[in-house]
Structure 1
Amino acid sequence: MAISKIFIAGAGNIGASCAEVMARKQLGHAHLYDINEDFAAGQVMDINQASPSFGSDTLVHACASIDDLEGSDVVVVAAGVARHAGMSRLDLLQQNRKIVGGIGASIMSYCPHAKVLLITNPVDVLTWYLKDRWPSMNVFGLGCSLDALRFRFFIAEATGTSVNSVAGTVIGLHNNNMVPLVSYATAGGVSIRHMLTESEIEVVINKTKEAGTAIVSKLISRSGFYAASNTIAEIIESMVFNKRAVFPLSIYCNGEFGHHDICLALPAVVGDGGIHRIITYDLDREERRMLDVCADEMKRIIGSLRK
């Protein structure tokens, strides 16, 4: 299935940076929308005027209305309130649920068959919210894809190897209960358990879990966006070119690891149809326990939303 129109809702740091990376990689016709029409238009002008520097004739289009969703093949939802210093991602739930819900209603009106990649935090809860409200929506969240990128960076740093030689992923939830899969992490094809001590591995895990908060504590009034926007572009690229790359995306569970009717970040094969299948690993006892903790947390949050 050919993907031609990609709609990005939210022209803030993540949305605009994602559009820039997509133009640089020539991934298709990106359309950038923001509730502040002039702001989106300004971001698009800036991105397009940079195109000669990266030799791309793929331009980003500014959208004047949410109605421009019509005909979209992929929708990236990056609109919402960003985390500031001292805030958790869950603190954003009530405000961002309203924003995401409004965009969801527009998606179902103008492009109900589009593949929807949700970025807005708390991403796992809001992915569940959209899927629960509109069961037919083909929605999946960024999940732990950004965390997996950070996990690989910190492994490379600790082992003194190239990031290109590191494999590693993270599942569960995009919060401090995330589950970095140490049992499947390698550098140069060698398990990190043969290269690092247990205490060194613990440092890598803690750095991965605390990376987002550490960035926000330095930026104060906004959160990071470079790593996120590049991760999003990689996911889009896998859809556009049907690469079948694997990302730990937030998906609605239908029995994976024994869980139902909640959203967890699990390794997903991504191609032109969106998620083609979910990969289930043989987890060790501690990894399975930690994943169950994530599931219990999701159930508790869902329960509070249904009251």
Structure 2
Amino acid sequence: MPPPKKPKKSGGTGSHTHALSVVQEFMKESYYAGRRAKEKEDEARKAGEKVAQGMEADINEYMEDTEGWKATIQELKELCPKLEELLAKIADAEETTDELCELVDSLEADLLRRTDGRILRVGAELHELSGRIQALQLENQQLERNLESSSSATEKQALEKTITSLRADVEGKERTAQLYKPALEKMKKMIDSEKERVGRRNETITLWRNKCENLRAKADEDKAMIEKEKSALETQALELNQRIREQDEALKDSQTRLEDCETSKGQLEESLTEMKTSIATMNSDYSEGKPTMQAQLERLKVEHAAAVDANRKA
């Protein structure tokens, strides 16, 4: 309601003027007290709403961050078993690679040992046969020289017989050598073929060894990378846990502040209620006293007019 208008001043006694001032002052105080109470109520409500909105925004932001961190931690938890499984596979691959390398080395040694043995046996047989033929030829030449230098007919006859026998033996051995020669050539070809096969196997073994080394190097590289990634993920998880703990503390602080705000809000509401009650009482008192005041005011006006009239006549 608008503030009450001041009554027009007129001549009269001081008591009448004082009574009008008292009535006017009472009405002004009632009006301004009601307005101040309304302003305080609005300020308290706005402050409470602002604080509540800030608390709500902080809590929503924290919840969003928490959900994101929970999702990240869940991904880390799901990734760790996969990393462990991959490390186990790498370990198995390393073990298999070691076994394969050992098998390749054993195969290579066995092939070399068998090939070297066959080559040595064939070489020995060829050498033995060549030596026997050469020995027979030397013995035949010696007998021929003895025959030429001998003067006895009986001795010559015996030498010729021996020479004939040796020639027959040499020819027989040469025929035997000729018979064995295709087999020996075949054996040589087999040896050459075996050498080629051993060479090819050695190339295959070398290739497998290189593959094994590459696998081992790749496994070491993957293992180092996984260990590095795992360490980084563990560090990230620790940082996230630390941030979550910090946010928990911040949330607890926000909740405490919110509870304080709720308490302050309750206290303000109680004060506002008391002020409203006081204003209502003042309005009630004003409403109840208004007729009496108006009657008094009218009486004062009449008395004032009478006093003015009496003063004029005097």
Larger proportion of helix: 2
Normalised TM-score (structure 2): 0.16
TM-score (norm 1): 0.16
Task: Please identify which structure carries the higher strand content.
Answer: 1
| Rg comparison, structure with higher value | 2
